[in-house]
Amino acid sequence: MGQISFLDVGCVNPDCGRYGVKGLGNIVIRRRYGTGRIRFLHCRHCQHEFSERNGTPLFDLRISQEKIVAVVRHLAEGTGVRKTARLTGVSRDTVGRILRRVGSHARGIHDRLVRGLDVPEVQMNEMWSFVKKKDKNCTEKERFEGEAGSVWDHIAIDPVSKLVVSMVQGSRRDQESSDRLVKDFADRTNNKPLKLVTTDEHAAYEASLLVTIQHPFKKSLDMKAFVRASPRTPPGLCPGPAREPAPWTPIRGRVLNSYPC
């Protein structure tokens, strides 16, 4: 039996009389396991044993913590699964497993902490990507089951702090995904009135805001000079600027996409 007690760890057994309580000295090291010498802990009050990684995305992963951190850092920088596997020396399956574990854990933390926000301004936009292959290469079965093809991340960002308040995924850039994003944002901000909403003029957002936020708003009629040129227009032959609704609106030194509502 180990003699070193952990004052910053509480028992994870819900039936234990000291469940979740730290600093009582009832948690000691039982043994170590795995290549990373992970500590297996013992509660002297209820005799329950558990890994120090219990309740974390590292639980039941046999590789070292340093290797897991390296994988996550590469993924966070946008490195693909195959390239991450080559750079870190682990298999693609392991990279995928770490990605799912850490992503699920991060989502849980986000759902718990990002609540009751006071966000007077929000920027909503979409990002396109694909899973496994692009739509034109997908079979009917893959499209129907959502196993491959286009993925649209709909995102709501606080333009001041750059906090990603809400994000929802959808297979299409449609009204349903917009409704889910606006509802999630409203839930996290207690549906407080907004001073400014900026979008890329995707029509679905206006309908979602009217139904969910239910606060009066008006579109900006700001006009800016900008040019719409054909991709084939030779350099130096670009037509002159035209007065049209601005594709961007400067707000107190910040440039926000599209129009305020």
Using alpha carbons, select from 20, 74, 80, 13 the residue that is nearest to residue 47: 13
Least confident of 39-48, 97-106, 131-140, 211-220: 211-220
pLDDT tens-digit map of 167-214: 998 888 899 999 999 999 999 999 888 888 888 888 898 888 888 887
Cα pseudo-dihedral 173, 176, 179, 184, rounded to 10? -90
Average pLDDT, the chain: 80
Residue 249 pLDDT more than 50? no
Residue type, 171: S
How far apart, in whole angstroms, are the C-alpha atoms of residue 218 and residue 126?
A: 22
Residue showing tokens 């990603």: 164
Residue 92 pLDDT more than 60? yes
Q: What 3-state DSSP class applies to 253? A: coil
DSSP labels for 49-108? EEETTTTSTTTT--S-HHHHHHHHHHHHTT--HHHHHHHHT--HHHHHHHHHHHHHHHHH
pLDDT of residue 88: 95
DSSP labels for 124-188? EEEEEEEESS-GGG--HHHHHHTSSEEEEEEEEE-TTT--EEEEEEESSSSHHHHHHHHHHHHHH
DSSP3 helix / strand / coil % (the chain, rounded to 5)? 30, 25, 45
Least confident of 117-121, 149-153, 217-221: 217-221
pTM value > 0.95: no
Q: Which of 13-27, 28-42, 49-63, 244-258 has the highest average model confidence (pLDDT)? A: 13-27
Using alpha carbons, select from 162, 153, 159 the residue that is nearest to residue 184: 153
Residue 90 pLDDT more than 90? yes
Distances (CA, A) of 100 to 80, 96, 104: 14, 6, 6
pLDDT of residue 167: 94
pLDDT of residue 95: 94
The sign one gets for the Cα dihedral 27, 29, 35, 36 is positive
> Packing angle between helix 81-88 and helix 92-113, nearest 10 degrees?
110
Residue 149 pLDDT more than 80? yes
How far apart, in whole angstroms, are the C-alpha atoms of residue 170 and residue 168?
A: 7
pLDDT of residue 145: 78
Hey, what are 147's tokens?
A: 């196993």
